[in-house]
Homo-oligomer: A and B are copies of this chain.
Amino acid sequence: MKALVYHGAGKKALEDRAQPDHRAPGDAIVKITKTTICGTDLHILRGDVATCAPGRILGHEGVGVVDSVGAGVTAVRPGDRVLISCISACGKCEYCRRGMYSHCTTGGWILGNAIDGTQAEYVRIPHADTSLYPIPAQADEEALVMLSDILPTGFECGVLNGKVEPGATVAIVGAGPIGPAALLTAQFYSPAEIIMIDLDDHRLDVAQRFGATQTINSKHGNAAENVKALTAGRGVDTAIEAVGVPATFLLCEDLVAPGGIIANIGVHGTKVDLHLERLWCQNIAITTRLVDTVTTPMLLKTVQSKKIDPKRLITHRFRLDKILDAYETFEHAASTGALKVIIEA
């Protein structure tokens, strides 16, 4: 089968690989219909993710059709159309029982990382019963690819951790593509203001179309002052960090109102300064989270009932044999305007 394989920092190739075999009774083999590329795949390709060894098939998102299941699988059957969660969850360990699938002792984020992933014609999904979600009959598969990772990440790490409420003020630092996922799902809770902050005017335009009530280009260096001006000097109830560098986290420290929350989504590669000499008495919370995908059933309902249209995140489409072009387009988002790219297998 065709597969996109990581070969060490800076190297990837579209190759022929053997189809995956079953290894445990809880496995399913899924024939991929559609997959996509995540910013984390780019992290891997920069050599930043130590758990991902050369030779690995990348990809942790996608929808497909169940090809075969192991003896222990009861929730899905061959022929079922399924949504693949980026998080593999055994459903049995202490973390899974607490709804913290991201820290499943035999799962978590392993797909396209510690085991072969979804940027291929077939993928082996361990813990299939609790890591695959049957796709409702009339559902749009493309839309559901957004539920593998990006929407639950924006929703769980940004919106739920950020406790977005009716009438609240929210700032999202970082406009693509995880920021827009937070932006779309934040609107489930009817906040009064959602202020999107980024360096790229095009992305800010997109954010405005997606529902941002205000946009600020932070290249002018006074984003914090602007946010204070928009919030009667108080700052925001929820500041969502959707970039992952010290400058954007520091901006969130400057933006957050007393009693507010900084909900971190960004994947950070270095420490940041936490200004406790100022924040110790500000009654704030800072949260971090690797997505658990525990809200996938809820998100499926919101998609089915048209409370959200995840397809708005999709900007480009490619066939699997053109996946190198897809990477090219996704990597150069500033010039291509890419948010999410669909790859049809």
Contacts and interface: CB of A to CB of B under 8 A. Distances in A.
Given A91-B92, A130-B92, A276 B280 contact: no
A247 interface: no
Given A103-B259, A277-B271, A26 B72 contact: yes
Given A92-B91, A103-B258, A259-B95, A279 B273 contact: no
A90 interface: yes
Contacts of A259: 95, 98, 100, 103
Given A91-B92, A189-B189, A258-B95, A167 B299 contact: yes
Contact of A301 (B24, B167, B283): B167
B298 A288 contact: no
Interface string A266-305: 1111111111110111111111111010100111111011
A330 interface: no
A167 B298 contact: yes
Per assembly, the copies of the chain total: 4
A249 interface: yes
A284 B264 CA distance: 10
Contact of A283 (B280, B289, B305): B289
Q: Chain A interface: which size bin?
A: 35 or more
A244 B280 contact: yes
Nearest to A261: B285
Nearest to A103: B258
A280 B288 contact: yes
A165 interface: yes
A25 interface: yes
A139 interface: no
Given A188-B189, A264-B280, A271-B273, A298 B166 contact: yes
A171 B187 CA distance: 22
Task: List the 3 closest pairs (A to B, CB-CB), nearest first.
Answer: A72-B72, A167-B301, A192-B305
Interface of A: 24-26, 70-75, 90-100, 102-103, 129-130, 161, 165-168, 187-193, 213, 244, 249, 258-259, 264, 266-277, 279-290, 292, 294, 297-302, 304-305, 307-308
